[in-house]
Amino acid sequence: KDVQKEREPHVYLSKEEVKEKIQSYNSSVTDKLKMTLNANGIYTGFIKVQMELCRPITVQSSQSQGRCAPSNQETAFYLPDGCVNTLHISSTNTVREVIEALLKKFFVADNPAKFALYKRCHKEDQVYTCKLSDREHPLYLRLVAGPKTEMLSFVLREHETGEVMWEAFSIPELQNFLRILDKEENDQLQLLKNRYAAYRGKLEAALRGVLNPG
């Protein structure tokens, strides 16, 4: 169930409260992805982000990585369903920074403005998914919820179609989308043709049996 962004007040914890929560968090961790509190009060840790992308992403080739100018050596493809990535971040990192770091980690050339980070949580035997604002801090949410992903998990999605900033797409990206849509349309059309051809064959065989019994 998708819901609108929840207006949850950010509780500012004291350094001692943060220390206690981190100790409690680390004592419950089962995958060794613990949090670390630094002397300046900033803490670091890990979050896992599930990729739920419906549209293809554009990835830079190894030759074009690190260049500032756009390159033709880019590939657009669909990311496999259920792909989960782990990021090491700090308590100061915002949602927008997490999205940018995630895309950079996998050399995704798409504009970060095309994506949004969602949180998924269980409440009253139901699963809720809501969009996070760019200024929220995912590691703080992870700390408060605890390490169990059943209580809280993060999901990367594209913005809804009505929210898409189409001007953020490059001409090659838009052309790639059109080619993919054309291929999907042709595939579906061929499936329909094959299905009706099979029906036609069965009907013609049945008619021949009726008109020429024995």
Residue 79, domain CATH: 3.10.20.90
- Examine the domain organization and report whether 130 and 157 are in the same domain: yes
Instruction: At 3, list the tokens.
Output: 């819901």
Q: What is the pLDDT of residue 118?
A: 92
- Examine the domain organization and report whether 96 and 28 are in the same domain: yes
- Examine the domain organization and report whether 110 and 22 are in the same domain: yes
**Which pTM does this prediction carry?**
0.66
Domain count, the chain: 2
Contact 51, 85 (CB under 8 A): yes
Mean pLDDT, residues 138-167: 83
- Examine the domain organization and report whether 183 and 157 are in the same domain: no
Judged against a pLDDT cut of 60, whether residue 70 lies above it is answered with: no
Domain limits at 48? 15-59+73-161
- Examine the domain organization and report whether 152 and 178 are in the same domain: no
d(CA 104, CA 132): 20
- pLDDT tens-digit map of 96-132: 999 999 988 878 888 888 899 999 987 777 888 888 9
- The confidence band for 76, taking pLDDT boundaries of 50, 70 and 90, is confident
d(CA 172, CA 175): 5
Judged against a pLDDT cut of 60, whether residue 39 lies above it is answered with: yes
Judged against a pLDDT cut of 50, whether residue 86 lies above it is answered with: yes
Nearest to 153 by CA among 145, 163, 161: 145
Name the percent of the chain lying above pLDDT 90: 32
Instruction: At 55, list the tokens.
Output: 């549209």
- Examine the domain organization and report whether 113 and 202 are in the same domain: no
